Structures are given as structure tokens and as C-alpha cells.
Structure 1
Amino acid sequence: MATLAHYTTLRLGGPAGRFAEAGTAAELVDAVRAADAGGEPLLLLGGGSNLVVSDAGFSGTVLRVGSSGWRALPGWDTADGELFVEVAAGQNWDEFVAAMVEQGVGGVECLSGIPGSVGATPIQNVGAYGCEISEVLVSARCYDRRAGEVRTLTAADLGFGYRTSVLKGTDTGVVLDVRLALHTDGLSRPIRYAELARKLDVPVGTRVPVADARAAVLELRRGKGMVLDAGDHDTWSAGSFFTNPILAEAEAAEALTRISDVVGADVPVPTYPADGGVKLSAAWLIERAGFGKGHPGPGGRVSLSHKHALALTNRGGASTADLLALAREVRDGVHARFGVRLRPEPLLVNCTL
């Protein structure tokens, strides 16, 4: 019996009732159809980087998406310097990014170092360092489990938002492959993230060689324990455990007043413009609520990363129950101190906060 801890970056999770793998898009569709016909619960597994699986595991079928590879799309009308690429859902994301950068292809370099598979990227609109997959994604080919057919969803159809899409929170759409619009001039997208611009020693908005952008992003991510390393427990995580809260303008004004009352009016509170309101920094709130880097959970078996307060980590010998206990402590502590509710970013399987 497969133990799901072997397939998640947290190295947590109980047994699967049945485990199977689909090596192609056709095999994936056939396997999903068979599971649906039999009425059995189905969990799709990619790189396991955004999953928190209960200690009880998953009683149904766990289907690992094992497709890989990519190809330039022939016959598309393209402007000079554009490259349209179709990438299989099971393809390791960072291996694809590395290959594009090596060939001087830009568009995804700021998303370097993100673990997981390509098929997961449109589901939660993966983003980092000022870029999101929605900015380069043209469409995703999906199997619609309700209709029993393969459909192509455009970026507009996917309803992208901050770390979300119409595919998140539902298991009705199975991503088979994605199509991306990249460019071949060897330069990055404009560097919009201030920390990355400082690392590159360029003004915000500058385009730099794609290899330089990738190297800088990887260095920043390693410093935060956000590049997988089997020997570093700070990377035994699901990445950022909580999303940055986005509050409506009136709610944000009330929250900022309360935060200033707590931390002092002379302490600047980081805020960012966001669709529909104001974005706060979850990591900043966590640390100001008293949960510093390395804050331990039950028995020290889990803790906040020693490099980044937004990652919850398995220190070895942990259980999912340990991790969730720490997550609740942090979530409830932030809410009690600042009145702001943090929400988890990973998919919780057979467990809740």
C-alpha cells in the first residue's frame, strides 16, 4: 500500500486505498473516467508540493499524473519573438523553467524554483516575485468530469485571481496540458518585485537576461528555505502555508487601525494594492503576532521555518496532526492579536483547520 508521505514535499500523509499512475494525457482521461464510472473517490497527485494529507490518508484511488514533456506549437500566428509552447500536466515545473532559460526563452524565469508539476500552476494561479502564471498562460486543456469530455479553457475562462482560479476548490476539471506564450529575445519580463530588483541591482521595471533573473530568484528562494533540499528540514514544507490576506478598503482601514494600535503608530505596516482591496503580508502579521522564525509546534516535531515565518515545516518524525495544530495556533494567534483571518494555501486532503 502506497504511503502518501513518500509523495508530498511535507513528507506527511497516510496510506492510499489504491495508487495508480497515468503516463500520458489519454491514460489520465481513461483512468479518471474509470474511477468516476466506479463511483470511487479520486485524488489527483502531481508533485505533492501543495498538499496536506491527513494521517489517515485517502481511502479512494490516488492517481499520480506522470505525463511529461513540451513542444512548440506549429501553425500559430505569432508576432516576432513570440514562442507558444504546450507543456504536459505532469511535467516538473522547474525543470521546464530551467530548460526555457537555458534556451534564452523568457516569460517564466521569475517562477524559478517553485516545486510541483505544470498542471498545478493554473489551478491556484501560481506566482512569485511579481509574476503569475496567468500572465503567460494562453489556455489549458482539461477533462471536464461533469460533461465527460475534453475542453480547452482560455485564460479568461479560468477566472484567475490571487492564488486562485475556477479550478481551485473543485475536482471537476482535470488539467491535461497548458499552453504558454513566451518570448525568445533572451530577456526577462520586466522586474516588478522590489526585493528582486535590489538583488539584481536594477530599477524596478528593468528587463534583464533570463539567466540572471533565474539565478537571483533561486538565491532569494534558497535563503528562505523555498528550494527543495532533502537535507534541509526548512524545505520540508508546502511552501507558503497561508495566503496574504486581501481585505476590502473599509475592512483594511479598520484592520490597519487595530494593527497600529498594537504595534505602535510609528511602525510601518506593509500593504500592497490588490484587485478588490488591500493586500497585507501574512509573514509580517505572523511574526508581529509573536510567532518568529523557528517557532516550534507540538514536541518540536514541526515548526515555522527558521528562514521564513510563512512556511510550516516537518522537522522529522512529525504527523499531519502536529502540523495542523501549529497552523491553528498561528492562525488563531494572528486573529486574536490583529483581527485578521489567515487562510491556508495548500489543498487539505481528508483534514481541516
Structure 2
Amino acid sequence: MTTLADLTTLRVGGPVAEYVEATTEAEILDVVRRADAEGRQLLVLGGGSNLLASDEPFDGVVVRDLRRGLALRESSACGGADVVIPAGHGWDDVVVEAIENDWSGIEALSGIPGSVGATPVQNVGAYGQEVGDVLAFVRTWDRGTGRIRTLARSELGLGYRTSILKRSMRDGDPVGDDGEPARRWAPTPRYVVLEVGLQLPLASRSAPVRYAELARTLGVEVGARVPSRDVRAAVLGLRRGKGMVLDAADHDTWSAGSFFTNPIVSDAVAAGLPEGAPRFPLGDGRVKTSAAWLISTAGFERGFGLPGPASLSTKHSLALTNRGTATAADLLALARTVRDGVAAAFGIVLEPEPVLLGVEL
């Protein structure tokens, strides 16, 4: 029997009642419509790199999108490369193809695991780039209306690690007479991503390097443009040093990447943080700070939890890792310890980045 441990990078999760591997859009839509008609829980899965699932059985339908292929619709000096990619295509494969074809703008997103369909949901970002920088549209199946809906970038409500796609996972339909939402869509959003359209500038050089750590690694000033291949090599080196490139032999990569998002707090809260705390003003009365800094400064260093079955990565304090025998319960206990310790030290409650399936933090 297939388990969610078999399908996720954290390698935890119970058995699945029904598992379907889909290779066409029609197969995906058939499964989604059937599950919704039967009132069953639905999980549309790509790479499984952003999910912490319960150890208990999942009494629903899991459909894994195995579609591959990248279509170049148009290429011009003015418009750049107009590419359309099915949701199941591996994200890092897109980055590789972009660099090989001199399409710029996603080179700093190298090495990120998972599929293309997840990138607009989270507005995936790293090292100064976000997928929203080059996103043109997302073609979706709207489970609420039972039809295809294409959302332009301007309609997606993109923000730091969020979008209306992600928010639709938790938002129900308008409340009924009983005061309860008529429908909850989690663990899959109301809008199931089918295809993603990107608009990538034609250039062999990168977009301006925005991230100080990456600029230092490349030996350039922030704002410089360098060959995209150099950016990819540098980013992969940085990610490997933090255990953020998947490697079955390295338990530091048995994770969901960064487990907590960087908190966005008010100016007043940011001003009360200790000297040396990272502060990134957003210009709207709010400041983003570093979850990794808060975790480390609260006393949770890399490797915290060892020699137990779950620990913080020995390479990066922001990743919770499975040391080989961890259960979801082990990882949740660790996450709660870290979250509560940071809250006690700084009054800031960290929010998890992965989707939590059948569990609560």
C-alpha cells in the first residue's frame, strides 16, 4: 500500500486509501471531480516537498501529477520567452532549461525541490528572486464553479510565500444559515493548478543580484548581473551547504526545506528586538525579520534534538529533519518546542511553511 511517507521529502505519513498517478490533464480532472462529488478529501501532489502528513491513514484520494514538458509559445527581444509548463513538471528542470536557452530571471531559484504547480501557490522565492517576478498566468481548475479558470498575475494576490491559491485552501464558501462555511478545500486549494505561464527575459546574464549572501559568494556588488550559469552554481553550493539540495544519503535533506516562514512584524515589535536582529523594512509600517536568527538566538542551534529521531538540521537551524525513523508526531513535537521557545524569548509566534495534513502545530 502506498503511504505518504513514500511520497514526501520528510518521509513521514500514513497509508493512503486511494492513490492515482495521472499523466494527462483529463485524468487529473476526472479524479478531482469524482473526489469532490463524493465528498472525499483530496490531495493533489507534485514533488511532496512541502508537506507534513499525519502518521494516521489518509482516508481520501491522492493524485500525483506526473505530466512533463515545456512549451515555448513565443520568443522575442521585447516580450522575452513565453513558456507554458504543466504543473507536474519538476521545477529545477525548468531552471536548467531556462539557463541552457538563455532565458533569465529564475537562476537564483535553482535547486528548489518540487513541481512547477507549487511555485505560484507559495510564490516560491530564494536568494532575492520570486517566481512572481516572472509569472504571467496560472491556468487552474476551479473546484467551486466546476470550470477552468485562468488567473493573470495581477489576479493572484501574490505576497511573501502566499497567493490567493494558497489562501483558497483555508477559505470556505460564504457561511450558511448555520454559520459554518459550506465547504473547506484543504489540503488542496480550491484552485487546482494545471499549467503555469512564465515570461522570461532573453539574456545569458542573470537578473540583478539582490541577495547580499549570493553577491558575496559571486564576488560582486549587490545589483550586478553575471552569467546565469554562475548564479546557478553559486546557489547550488549555498543550498548544499545548508542541506537544501535533496540527497537520499544525507538526513539533513530529509526535510520540507525551511519549516517556518520569516516573520513580518510591526515597526514597534521590530524595534524591540535585540541589537543585531535582522530587519528588512517593507515600507508599510512592517518589517521582515529572520526566523533562523530568532531560532538560533532563542537557544536552538543546528542539530538541536539529536540524537533523537527528529532534529534541526546540522547545517541550517530553519529546517526540521527526519533522522531516519521519525514520525509526524516526533517532528511536530520538535516544531512546537522551537515555536514556543521563540515565542517565550521574543513574543513572536513562528508560522509553519509546509502544508499540514491531518495534524496541527
Please give the TM-score of this superposition, normalised by the length of structure 1: 0.94
Residue 155 (str. 1) matches residue 173 (str. 2) = no
Q: Which residue among 308, 314, 321 is the counterpart of 1:313?
A: 321
In 2, Cα distance between the equivalents of 1:73 and 1:41?
36
**Cα deviation per residue 1:2-59 (whole Å; 9 max; x = unaligned)?**
1110110001111111101211222212221121122211111110000000001421
Question: For the residues of structure 2 that align with 1:5 and 1:199, how far apart are their CA atoms?
Answer: 36
Whole-angstrom CA distance in 1 between matches of 2:117 and 2:57:
22
- 2:270/2:279 contact within 8 Å kept: no
1:168 is paired with a residue whose SS is helix
How many angstroms apart in 1 are the aligned matches of 2:243 and 2:52? Answer: 18
Alignment of 1:196-211 (within 5 A): 196-211=214-229
The corresponding residue for 1:217 is 235
Cα distance per residue 1:63-101 (max 9 Å; x no partner)? 111111111114x8x543711100110001111111211
For residue 185 of structure 1, report the CA deviation from its aligned partner.
1.7
Q: Runs of 5+ in structure 1 lacking a partner?
A: 261-266
Are 1:86 and 2:87 matched, yes or no?
Answer: no
Name the structure 2 match of 1:101. 99
Q: 1:172 aligns with which of 190, 201, 206?
A: 190
Q: CA RMSD in A?
A: 1.3
Please state whether the residue corresponding to 1:121 is helix, strand or coil: helix
Secondary structure at the counterpart of residue 140 of structure 1: strand
Query: Aligned partner of 1:248: which letter?
Result: S
Task: Give CA deviations for 1:77-130 in whole Å, capped at 9, x if unaligned.
Answer: x54371110011000111111121122221111000000000000001000000
| Structure 1 residue 270: Cα displacement | 1.0
TM-score (ref. length: structure 2)? 0.92
**Aligned 1:100-139 pairs, distance under 5 A:** 100-139=98-137
CA contact (8 A) 1:12 1:55 kept: yes
Aligned twin of 1:251: 269
Instruction: State the partner residue of 1:264.
Output: none
Q: 1:250 offset after TM fit, Å?
A: 2.9
Which runs of 5 or more structure 2 residues have no equivalent in the other structure?
Answer: 170-188
| SS in structure 1 of the partner of residue 197 of structure 2 | strand
Look up the SS of the partner of 1:167 in the other structure. Answer: helix
* 1:1-353 superposed matches below 5 A: 1-74=1-74, 78-80=76-78, 82-169=80-167, 170=169, 171-253=189-271, 257=272, 259-260=273-274, 267-274=275-282, 276=284, 277-296=286-305, 300-353=308-361
State the 1:275 CA deviation: 6.2
| Greater displacement, 236-245 / 54-63 | 54-63
**Deviation above 4 Å: which 4+ runs of structure 1?**
none
